[in-house]
A and B are shown apart, each in its own frame.
Chain A
């Protein structure tokens, strides 16, 4: 892979790839919801639908050696990062062919090959890990960036403030990405934060912090590239607040009593997929045949992921205590 530049190359191929990734996440998750109803997927399932531009745009700015730390709503980051959709789907099924051998499920996707460090289901819990990964890189003289995704809910946690302070204090190469979808589960940001412009909090720690339209994949990518480029110059951490919106319920158990349908519809109209598609069409960057081809390729990939998960096998119960400790360790 070639080195990423500070600016995106808006070639047709690249634009089509951005669309394809967002559509893959969108349709993959629609399939997940369906499979949840069909009781193929259990436990918690948090859908990212509506927020695809954030993961796709930010991950575009990363090199293969960089690390990603994400949250329990991380299917989008995982797919954008290039973890095989089959392995992610098999994980949701709980099969041992899943990317975490079925030990993690939807909320705990891990992948060593792409340096994907989870899938953390404690709000704010991933931020200190990201700081530590970046500290290790800095101490070892490695030119790597750690991208840390979290929601607006995490901003209320002490770990958010502790981590931002540490990263800024020690000039660590962390890209903090706040996916501000305006609700911490079912409680509006305005009900929980005295300062709802989250990037201002980050700026108070002495790091560059910007607010981005998280529904615009091109803008997210452009800003993320600038941020990563500055981080690589050794300027320390960078903070992006991506304003976005979750179209679906928080999880599969959420009646959404806390927000109006009109509000959801309003955001859906400026959704990342519909808006980007329209822009591509209006600007002559995509033809109907291209769209059909992309949709077909995404559908085929998802079919193949489901088939992979279906064909997957259950880890033998005898292996239950494997990997509690390293091989040779005792419990």
Chain B
């Protein structure tokens, strides 16, 4: 018999997260899942389907529609020795728990002089593209990335969907994980032994010499598609997946800019006061003289997300927008 190459299994982003939760709950009795419809319903995006049967109602805990109450309870339980995974249906709903996240989770360690940490993980869906209107579709992760005291993750690949959760649970501080709604059905190969990944570094998903396209989460696939189109036009784009929005891996960004001298930042959030603005400012501060062109941004149009499909698509950053922005920057490149 000959040794076969390492087999991979086909998985979806949704299954990868479920496997990550199952793995964490199996490995650590302190871990439990709590949120709206996570148990009997199986999760509003079917992420936790089957986990109630496997782990029971104590550890897969359905909550009432009390975002502030159960997110705060997750924070308290984390301080009390547990390792809760709190699921909030969407980032828009998390605004009902903003008090607990910003005033408690983010502050308690510093405000208590280092006496109390909050090792909670809060997962939520983010982003548009499913025609669910202005109260279910926004990308507010950039807001959360503004807050010192929390960490913000945006898994964009199956490996990160599978691997970021355990690392987040091991982190002694509150970690928010943003899962883009369009990624749940994303299918691909995942190694059966896929496991924990680092959450400290951005990843270069495509190496290139001419321009750096910086993005994260749901925008990664559109940015990769834009890079492929640009390649056909003779423009060799590098694609950086930030992975972690706070703390930002400035080093990888600056190092890339130093090589390519041109940058487009792709961010599904609104442009004003965005994460893209923060990245742009860091590049000005740390790599101004490496730039051959102003930093460009491709963001969502500044409107509440509309329902009609053509309007929603016009609101969201598209691959063509990224290509167009890159072409302008590269200008004379032939």
Does chain B have a CB within 8 A of A106?
A: no
Contact B69 A136 (CB under 8 A): no
Please name all residues of chain B whose beta carbon is closer than 8 Å to the beta carbon of A119 when the two chains form the complex. Answer: 111
With contacts A159-B99, A166-B69, A330-B247 taken as known, whether A133 is within 8 angstroms of B148 at the C-beta atoms is: no
Please name all residues of chain A whose beta carbon is closer than 8 Å to the beta carbon of B115 when the two chains form the complex. Answer: 100, 110-112
With contacts A110-B116, A139-B58, A324-B149 taken as known, whether A163 is within 8 angstroms of B72 at the C-beta atoms is: yes
User: Interface size of B by Cβ–Cβ distance < 8 Å?
Assistant: 43
Give the residues from 136 to 156 in chain A that come closer than 8 angstroms, CB to CB, to chain B. 136-137, 139-140
Q: Which single member of B70, B104, B114 contacts A101 (CB below 8 Å)?
A: B114
Give the residues from 82 to 108 in chain B that come closer than 8 angstroms, CB to CB, to chain A. 82, 84, 99-100, 103-104, 108
Contact A139 B111 (CB under 8 A): no
Contact A165 B114 (CB under 8 A): no
Contact A125 B103 (CB under 8 A): yes
Contact B72 A127 (CB under 8 A): yes
Does chain A have a CB within 8 A of B252?
A: no
Does chain B have a CB within 8 A of A99?
A: yes
Does chain B have a CB within 8 A of A162?
A: yes
Please name all residues of chain A whose beta carbon is closer than 8 Å to the beta carbon of B217 when the two chains form the complex. Answer: none
Contact A135 B112 (CB under 8 A): no
Please name all residues of chain B whose beta carbon is closer than 8 Å to the beta carbon of A262 when the two chains form the complex. Answer: none
Contact A139 B148 (CB under 8 A): no
Contact A120 B104 (CB under 8 A): yes
Does chain A have a CB within 8 A of B270?
A: no
Contact B80 A137 (CB under 8 A): yes
Does chain B have a CB within 8 A of A102?
A: yes
**What's the interface size class on A, roughly?**
35 or more
Give the residues from 117 to 138 in chain A that come closer than 8 angstroms, CB to CB, to chain B. 117-120, 122, 125, 127-137
Q: Which single member of A118, A134, A162, A329 contacts B111 (CB below 8 Å)?
A: A118
What is the bound-complex CA distance between A129 and B112, given in angstroms? 15
Please name all residues of chain A whose beta carbon is closer than 8 Å to the beta carbon of B80 when the two chains form the complex. Answer: 67, 132-137, 140
Which residue on A lies nearest to B83, using beta carbons? Answer: A136
Contact B113 A98 (CB under 8 A): yes
With contacts A111-B115, A139-B82 taken as known, whether A326 is within 8 angstroms of B110 at the C-beta atoms is: no
* Residue-wise interface mask of B (69-80) relative to A, using a CB-CB cutoff of 8 A (1 in contact, 0 not): 111111111111
Min CB distance, A329 to chain B, in Å?
6
What is the bound-complex CA distance between A102 and B74, given in angstroms? 27
What is the bound-complex CA distance between A125 and B103, given in angstroms? 8
Contact A162 B66 (CB under 8 A): yes
Contact A166 B82 (CB under 8 A): no
Please name all residues of chain B whose beta carbon is closer than 8 Å to the beta carbon of A67 when the two chains form the complex. Answer: 80
What is the bound-complex CA distance between A162 and B71, given in angstroms? 11
Which residue on B lies nearest to A131, using beta carbons? Answer: B73
Does chain A have a CB within 8 A of B173?
A: yes
Contact A104 B73 (CB under 8 A): no
Min CB distance, B50 to chain A, in Å?
21
Contact B247 A331 (CB under 8 A): yes
Contact B110 A131 (CB under 8 A): no
Min CB distance, A180 to chain B, in Å?
22
Please name all residues of chain B whose beta carbon is closer than 8 Å to the beta carbon of A111 when the two chains form the complex. Answer: 115
Please name all residues of chain B whose beta carbon is closer than 8 Å to the beta carbon of A128 when the two chains form the complex. Answer: 68-73, 75-76, 100
Does chain B have a CB within 8 A of A158?
A: yes
Does chain A have a CB within 8 A of B117?
A: yes
Task: Give the interface of A toward B (CB within 8 A).
Answer: 67, 98-104, 108, 110-112, 117-120, 122, 125, 127-137, 139-140, 158-159, 162-163, 165-166, 169, 322-326, 329-331
- Other A-B pairs beyond A132-B74, A162-B70, A166-B66, 7, CB < 8 Å: A112-B115, A118-B108, A129-B104, A132-B77, A165-B69, A166-B70, A323-B110
**Closest 6 CB pairs between A and B?**
A132-B76, A128-B72, A136-B80, A162-B69, A101-B113, A110-B112
